[in-house]
Structure 1
Amino acid sequence: MNGLARDTLFVPRLYDEQLVPLIFAAYAADLAQRVAARPATSVLEIAAGTGAVTRELAARLPTGTTIVATDLQQPMLDFAMRVGTGRPIEWRQADALQLPFASRTFDVVACQFGVMFFPDKARAFAEARRVLRPGGALIFNVWDRIEENDFADAVTAALAAMFPADPPRFLPRVPHGYSDIAAIRRDLAAGGFNARPQFETVTARSAAASPRIPALAYCLGTPLRAEIEMRKPSGLEAAVDAVEALIAERLGDGPVEGRLKAHVVVAET
């Protein structure tokens, strides 16, 4: 398995049941609210995952607004379709670098925490720009630096202590590796978004009933699992225990709360 494949290897059930309520739900509601505030008859979501934003869009957008939800990984879409949305949605497997849609098809393109995974971000932005109608907008969010996100930072620190010679770096390298606003501006401009994009930093709180919940969510439900098993095939349980212990040390051993911080970007055509 190559590096790109490992970096997108999420476990749909664990992702949706544990990571979505832990770190994604608040930002999904925020993103959908921003989309709903714009006049739109057609919305495209890219990197929809298990449908956290899709469900919010379905609940907030007028029934006459069409929603197309796409993801590169068919298993994620399959899970999202099983969960459902309460209204008709078009689900489609698609690569953000080569969208299978005609130019000027959508009023809004939305993406929740997916841009960081695109191997060629300027090309992905150019594709979003291509399928947008004049006056349309690309609305997406990206995580801020890992040090500003308590659970992710603790996970990374615990695994670095467990594997000091070769620490797993998925979280700082990919999900939290695209927080530089200047770099995002450059990539948007390279993708054809000539108007100055809007940036807003949004903070939130993440809560879990115990430190073990985020430990399980990150170590078993994300590409960290593959990185741990590459270093020690039988090391998952020990990794979960180590992460749990550090979260408890930093945030308490009962119900825990962690800080979340992300940037929301609006780029108009």
Structure 2
Amino acid sequence: MDDDAARFQGSLPEFYDSGLGPVLFRHYADVLGEAVASTAPGRILEVAAGTGISSAGIVAHNAGAEIVLTDLNEAMLQRAADKVPAGTRMQVADAQALPFKDASFDAVACQFGIMFLPDVGAGFREARRVLTDGGVYVFSVWDSHDRNRFAAVVDGLLTETFPDDPPPFYRVPFGMSDVERLRRLAQDSGFGTLRIDVLPHDAPVASWPEFADGLIRGNPVSDQVRARSGDLDALVRTVGERLAAEYGPAPTTIPVQTILFRAWAA
């Protein structure tokens, strides 16, 4: 399916890691790791671990804990192996149908992954199932395009380039900022107390071309563009130009905003 927003294969992990990681993910990986560590878990499961940027944050703040990494895409986990201690358990797994026994973990973590689940409720139910009573599910989502202008710029360019059939990718990761909806889903899935933090950040951009490469080639929008016979090189150049016009020359920072949830298993 050409518009599959969860398929990170081929060369995508490389561009995702190098182009997007330093700007969008590293800071929030530390935030995630600290949030998980605040509950002193002995066994931690990370779902949608990606290329291991968030995993490194979890490892750094949870010394001595047993950590299991999962992702739907094997190519992402292959890159994650370089960022975590040798011997760390990794497994291809669907967050909607986890291959683990009930009450197997003290904490489940997911950075910017639940937005890609076709059935978000199933993801919540599975996280609750594998958690011990009193365990915590720590997950984060991106706030809306209004709070992440860089994403609106890219989505606007894609709509301008393909007015009859715009690639939908950039509506997915930034389309789940409804806090009350997520609160209800969590509580309906067996979670009790929730803590919700809105986290603005000035993200560092060293190079517009590298960031633009990640924004176009580091996620499934590249496949969506190819399926529409689009010019990836031209899009990368234009993204870089428009972001430079918006924020000034690099190196610089751009404002981003995410939402961090901690949900305790009732």
Equivalent in the alignment of 2:195:
198
SS at match of 1:265: strand
After superposition, the C-alpha distances for 1:1-28 in whole angstroms (9 at most, x for unaligned) are 3533x54235111111121111011111
1:214-225 equivalences in 2 (<5 Å): 214-225=211-222
Q: CA deviation at 1:216?
A: 0.9
CA distance in structure 2 between the aligned counterparts of 1:62 and 1:84, rounded to whole angstroms: 15
SS at match of 2:134: strand
Equivalent in the alignment of 2:67:
67
Name whichever of 26-35 and 83-92 sits farther off.
83-92
Among 173, 193, 208, the alignment partner of 2:205 is 208
CA distance in structure 2 between the aligned counterparts of 1:227 and 1:206, rounded to whole angstroms: 27
After superposition, the C-alpha distances for 1:41-72 in whole angstroms (9 at most, x for unaligned) are 10000000011121122222122x10001001
Which amino acid in 2 is paired with 1:236?
L
SS at match of 1:232: coil
SS at match of 1:237: helix
SS at match of 1:136: strand
Number of equivalent positions: 263
Identity %: 35
Among 249, 253, 260, the alignment partner of 1:264 is 260
After superposition, the C-alpha distances for 1:204-226 in whole angstroms (9 at most, x for unaligned) are 11222232222111111111101
Which amino acid in 1 is paired with 2:197?
E
Which amino acid in 2 is paired with 1:179?
S
Equivalent in the alignment of 1:80:
80
- Give yes or no for contact 2:2–2:224 (8 Å, CA) kept in 1: no
1:154-233 equivalences in 2 (<5 Å): 154-172=153-171, 174-193=172-191, 195-233=192-230
1:241 aligns with 2:242: no
1:128-139 equivalences in 2 (<5 Å): 128-139=127-138
CA distance in structure 2 between the aligned counterparts of 1:23 and 1:122, rounded to whole angstroms: 26
CA distance in structure 2 between the aligned counterparts of 1:78 and 1:211, rounded to whole angstroms: 27
Which amino acid in 2 is paired with 1:112?
Q
Q: What TM-score do the two structures reach when normalised by structure 1?
A: 0.93
CA distance in structure 2 between the aligned counterparts of 1:214 and 1:2, rounded to whole angstroms: 23
Which stretches in structure 1 are left out of the alignment for 5+ residues? none
Would the alpha carbon gap of residues 3 and 154 (structure 1) be closer, same or farther in structure 2, given more than 3 Å must change?
closer
Q: CA deviation at 1:256?
A: 3.2
SS at match of 1:197: strand
CA distance in structure 1 between the aligned counterparts of 2:151 and 2:84, rounded to whole angstroms: 29
Q: CA deviation at 1:73?
A: 0.6
CA distance in structure 1 between the aligned counterparts of 2:3 and 2:227, rounded to whole angstroms: 12
After superposition, the C-alpha distances for 1:213-262 in whole angstroms (9 at most, x for unaligned) are 221111111111012112224x1011112211211211113323211101
Name whichever of 220-229 and 133-142 sits farther off.
220-229
Equivalent in the alignment of 1:101:
100
- Give yes or no for contact 2:37–2:61 (8 Å, CA) kept in 1: yes
SS at match of 2:222: helix
Equivalent in the alignment of 1:12:
13
1:49-68 equivalences in 2 (<5 Å): 49-63=50-64, 65-68=65-68
CA distance in structure 1 between the aligned counterparts of 2:235 and 2:17, rounded to whole angstroms: 21
CA distance in structure 2 between the aligned counterparts of 1:43 and 1:241, rounded to whole angstroms: 41
Q: What TM-score do the two structures reach when normalised by structure 2?
A: 0.94
CA distance in structure 1 between the aligned counterparts of 2:147 and 2:173, rounded to whole angstroms: 13
SS at match of 1:268: strand
1:125 aligns with 2:127: no
